[in-house]
């Protein structure tokens, strides 16, 4: 391992431990590392936008004689007029373009790619012929979908049959939250394991 | 003050310490635990296994450095499987922060392990801003979106890209994601171009992605480190995820214990205070 690699390894280990130190109590080293992270993020973002948008998407094309690329760049610059109260109206043209294209793209892709297939998947046969287990699952899907939708129907007071169905819906929502929370705990623990793996195997392992 | 009252006021730093011990101990004293295979991981493995040898596959690194611990083992396991089947791999990322360098580092490391040549067996397209435009545009022409690869080499100089012009030349997409970009691979690429997608996501994302598996929009799913460990088992490799799962199980046991203790404590203290009030 070269001297530079060893330095990098120790730097990463120091930054990890400095951030972990917050678990004991807030301290100046944690604060310093937190600020370094924030500064790095902003610097990285500026460099990335400069390189991948201004140079790659605009300037390189202009140099190739595709001057029309300056037109969308001009509309992009108009967004900055929002910083001035007198000129901010100019940004509406760009915003209208963004909203229009976004709505157009997403209307089709969301409807065709997510809403319809997911709706179709809830319309399952209750006697599909795959045995009792499959039928039970289909019932759960249908009851869960309908009762959850009823829970979010607020135009009528949740009383009587509507109230009971909404209550069933709450149970489904709570179970879903529980599953999400369980997975979230697992995910966060995995991230801790990743850092500990680095500290034990890469950092401590490098000088043992 | 009773034992349960003391437990209710315990300094949370003791819990942090207990979690730290539960994570560290399995690394010092490894005790292999059985890993069962979920149907979602099995179907993803089967889908990759059914691909013809030497076909073109996209591996997408849509995760941030913060979730490397969960997502990188998935990407590594996927590349093991794909390179073993001699698939031609085209990688890209929609993540600006660290995405291009992670894709480069992981793919090159795995390619070197399997003796693959850059430009012939694999290409890293890198990153381009605006994932909706990127995903939709690649359906027409990959070269129009990525005129060069991650290192600035024009795609026309990379032999592999002669046979990968758009999605119709891609047999399978292995999306590794920790965010909503996976939704757009479903709604734009799978729905509009019909390319089968297998997904490896963080555990936080997994519950949402199950809906896509059920509807057939994902052929399979690997959820977090556990999913990676399952895939490692399926391809017969014991790597970081399999080792990490020992610590994971220890912490889960600890958390279950703490939840049970916390609930018992809550009811006992409530009973004691009711008695006290009476």
| pLDDT tens column, B206-215 | 999 999 999 9
Tell which of B73, B187, B188, B210 to mutate to test the A interface (max A CBs under 10 Å).
Answer: B187
pLDDT of residue B129: 85
pLDDT score, position B249: 93
What pTM value is reported for the model?
Answer: 0.88
| Same domain for B185 and B96 | yes
Average pLDDT of the segment spanning B157-167:
95
Are B147 and B169 in the same domain? yes
Q: Give the one of B24, B129, B248 whose C-beta lies nearest to A52's C-beta.
A: B129
Residues B91, B122, single domain; the answer is yes
Q: Is the pLDDT of residue B274 over 90?
A: no
Confidence class for position A129, pLDDT limits 50, 70, 90: low
Q: Which pLDDT value is given to residue A26? A: 94
Please give the tally of structural domains in chain B: 2
What percent of chain B has pLDDT above 90?
79
- The answer on pLDDT for B1 being more than 80 is no
In chain A, domain spans: 127-208
Model confidence pLDDT, tens digit, residues A81-107: 999 999 999 999 999 998 998 888 888
Is B207 found in the same domain as B133? yes
Q: What is the pLDDT of residues B38-64, one digit of tens each?
A: 999 999 999 999 999 999 999 999 999
Domain containing B69 — which CATH number? 3.40.50
- Distance from chain centroid for Cα B145: 25
Q: Looking at the structure, tell me whether residues B148 and B268 fall in a common domain.
A: no
Q: What is the mean pLDDT of residues A124-143?
A: 82
**In a shared domain, residues B69 and B207:** yes
Q: How far apart are CA A205 and CA A1, in angstroms?
A: 12
Q: Could you tell me the two tokens for B150?
A: 């991650």
pLDDT band, very low/low/confident/very high, at A56 (cuts 50, 70, 90) = confident
Task: Quote the minimal CA–CA distance from A160 to chain B in Å.
Answer: 31
pLDDT at A128 exceeding the cut of 70: no
Distance between start and end Cα atoms, chain A: 14
Which chain B positions have a beta carbon within 8 Å of A197's beta carbon?
27, 69, 240, 243-244
Task: Band the pLDDT of B123: cuts 50, 70, 90.
Answer: very high
Number of Cβ atoms within 10 Å of the Cβ of B189:
25
Q: Stretch B257-270: mean pLDDT, rounded?
A: 92
Q: Please check whether residue B79 is in contact with residue B95, taking contact to mean a CB–CB distance below 8 angstroms.
A: no
Residues B57 and B128 placed together within one structural domain of the fold:
yes
B263 and B185 in one domain?
Answer: no
For residue B234, count other CB atoms closer than 10 A to its CB. Answer: 20
Q: Is the pLDDT of residue B6 over 90?
A: no
Range of the domain at B88: 39-238
**Phi-psi bin for B130: left (phi > 0), alpha (psi -120 to 50), beta?**
left
Whole-Å CA distances, B96 to A39, B74, B142: 16, 20, 19
My answer on whether B97 and B221 are in the same domain is yes
Beta carbons of A191 and B70 less than 8 Å apart = yes
Question: What does the pLDDT read at residue A133?
Answer: 83
The answer to ipTM > 0.95 is no
pLDDT at B5 exceeding the cut of 90: no
Closest residue to A196, CB basis, from B27, B68, B184: B27
Q: Least CB-CB distance to B203: which of A44, A186, A200?
A: A186
Confidence of residue B276 (pLDDT cuts 50, 70, 90): confident
Inter-chain residue contact A105 with B192, CB threshold 8 Å: no
Residues B171 and B254 in one domain: no
Could you tell me if B157 and B47 lie in one domain? yes
The answer to whether residues B155 and B25 belong to one domain is: no
Tokens of B246: 């020992």
Q: How does pLDDT run across A182-195, given as a tens digit for each residue?
A: 999 999 999 999 99
């Amino acid at each position: 391992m070269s001297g530079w690699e060893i330095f990098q390894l120790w730097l990463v280990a120091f930054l990890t431990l400095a951030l972990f130190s917050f678990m004991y109590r807030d301290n100046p080293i944690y604060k310093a590392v937190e600020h370094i992270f924030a500064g790095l993020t902003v610097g990285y973002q500026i460099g990335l936008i400069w390189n991948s948008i201004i140079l790659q998407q605009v300037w390189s094309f202009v140099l190739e004689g595709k001057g029309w690329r300056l037109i969308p760049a001009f509309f992009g610059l108009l967004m900055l007029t929002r910083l001035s109260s007198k000129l901010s109206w100019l940004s509406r043209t760009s915003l209208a373009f963004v909203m229009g294209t976004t709505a157009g793209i997403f209307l089709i892709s969301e409807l065709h790619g997510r809403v319809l297939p997911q709706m179709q998947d809830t319309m399952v046969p209750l006697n599909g012929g795959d045995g009792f287990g499959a039928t039970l699952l289909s019932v759960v899907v249908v009851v869960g979908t309908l009762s959850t939708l009823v829970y979010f129907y607020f135009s009528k007071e949740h009383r009587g049959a509507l109230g009971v169905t909404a209550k069933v819906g709450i149970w489904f929502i709570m179970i879903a939250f529980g599953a999400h929370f369980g997975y979230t705990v697992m995910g966060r623990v995995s991230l801790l394991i990743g850092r500990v793996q680095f500290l034990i195997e890469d950092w401590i392992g490098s000088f043992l | 003050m009773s034992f349960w009252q003391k437990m209710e006021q315990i300094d949370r730093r003791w819990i942090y310490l207990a979690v730290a011990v539960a994570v560290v101990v399995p690394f010092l004293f490894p005790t292999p635990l059985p890993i069962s295979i979920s149907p979602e991981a099995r179907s993803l493995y089967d889908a990759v296994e059914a691909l013809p040898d030497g076909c073109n596959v996209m591996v997408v690194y849509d995760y941030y450095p913060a979730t490397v611990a969960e997502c990188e083992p998935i990407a590594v396991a996927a590349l093991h499987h794909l390179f073993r089947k001699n698939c031609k791999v085209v990688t890209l990322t929609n993540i600006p922060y660290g995405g291009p360098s992670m894709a480069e580092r992981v793919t090159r490391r795995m390619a070197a392990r399997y003796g693959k040549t850059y430009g012939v067996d694999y290409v890293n397209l890198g990153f381009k801003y605006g994932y909706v435009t990127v995903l939709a545009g690649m359906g027409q022409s990959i070269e129009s979106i990525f005129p060069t690869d991650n290192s600035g080499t024009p795609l026309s100089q990379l032999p592999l890209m002669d046979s990968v012009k758009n999605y119709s030349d891609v047999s399978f997409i292995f999306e590794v994601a920790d965010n909503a970009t996976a939704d757009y691979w479903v709604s734009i690429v799978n729905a509009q171009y019909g390319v089968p997608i297998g997904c490896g996501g963080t555990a936080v994302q997994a519950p949402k992605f199950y809906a896509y598996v059920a509807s057939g929009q994902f052929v399979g799913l690997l959820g977090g480190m556990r999913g990676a460990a399952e895939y490692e088992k399926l391809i017969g490799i014991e790597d970081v995820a399999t080792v990490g799962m020992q610590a994971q199980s220890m912490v889960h046991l600890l958390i279950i214990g703490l939840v049970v203790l916390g609930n018992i404590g809550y009811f006992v203290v409530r009973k004691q205070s009711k008695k006290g009030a009476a």
